[in-house]
Amino acid sequence: MLYLDCHTPASALRSLTAAFHVREDVLVRAIRERSMEGDFTGEHEEQAVKAFLSEVNVEFDSTRFGGAYYFHGTRSFDPDSFLREGILPLGQVIERIWSSLYELIGDRITERDWQRFRADLEGSGSGHSGFLYRHKVSNASLHGPYALLVRGNHFNPGAIGCHDYLATPEIVQDIGRSFGHNLQEAFEAASKKCIVKFRSPDVGKAAVIAAFWYVYSAIRSDHDPAGWASLYGVDCKGSVAPNDVVGVEQLP
């Protein structure tokens, strides 16, 4: 089964050309010879990509993938747990998060006061960070897990307007900012950055177009290939099974 794989520009090129039934050198040469600078976004984006591919005898609408690989960026105390458990949505890990955070600061606050802090946060306190926490936890449609098509976009969050998931998960940031006392910094020091690669059957036209721009930018060197033109993500809306996780990359 053919999967769209944007682990690197080279893997993306291989998977695209396999689906397009065109040689890699043919697509590379066509990209080098034609600028599509004005076609990165907008209502004509899909038509522009289709027109370009038709010049190398590729019928975009006939392109088929069995699925795609996606990249879930996070921090974890135990990155190997993703191989055992898969990737779980927020609702299934929130208790574990609270317990793990308390272990970091248990020498500074009693368990009773920690529970009092949690009750206040989950009630109506802690300002904007408390509001963000309650909004996420109370809304199952926001529990993810989420992932990006292009691995490199995890290293470029500012340029694409995304949260830096490799720095701190959003929910931990909400709790840490509400509690203070360097809790977020303690979490970052104790946890490990990791990117979890998994397979999914979710691959539509928008994913293929994002992968095309990723390859296009890498070949022409006009733009950072892991940029906003290649931005595409998925909401898994529930657990990612352990057997769909193909690797966990720990980062320095």
For residue range 98-154, list pLDDT tens digits in order: 999 999 999 999 999 999 999 999 998 789 999 999 999 999 999 999 999 999 999
**157 has pLDDT over 70:** yes
Residue 124 pLDDT: 87
| Nearest residue to 168 (alpha-carbon basis) of 74, 71, 72, 250 | 74
In the chain, % of residues over pLDDT 90: 87
127-138 vs 170-179: helix crossing angle, rounded to 10: 140
Which tokens go with 236? Answer: 């898994």
E runs forming strands in the chain: 3-4, 67-76, 146-148, 192-200, 233-235, 245-251
Closest among 55, 59, 9 to 218, alpha carbons compared:
9
CA dist 195 and 83 (Å) reads 12
Task: Decide if pLDDT at 42 tops 70.
Answer: no
CA dihedral 77, 81, 83, 89 (to 10 degrees): -100
The residue count for the chain: 252
Q: How confident is the model at residue 74 (pLDDT cuts 50, 70, 90)?
A: very high
Could you give the CA distance from residue 3 to residue 203 in angstroms, rounded to a whole number? 9
Tell me: the pLDDT tens digits for 178-223?
Answer: 999 999 999 999 999 999 999 999 999 999 999 999 999 999 987 7
224, pLDDT greater than 90? no
* DSSP β-bridge partners for residue 67: 3
In whole numbers, what is the pLDDT of the chain averaged over residues?
95
What does pTM read for this prediction? Answer: 0.95
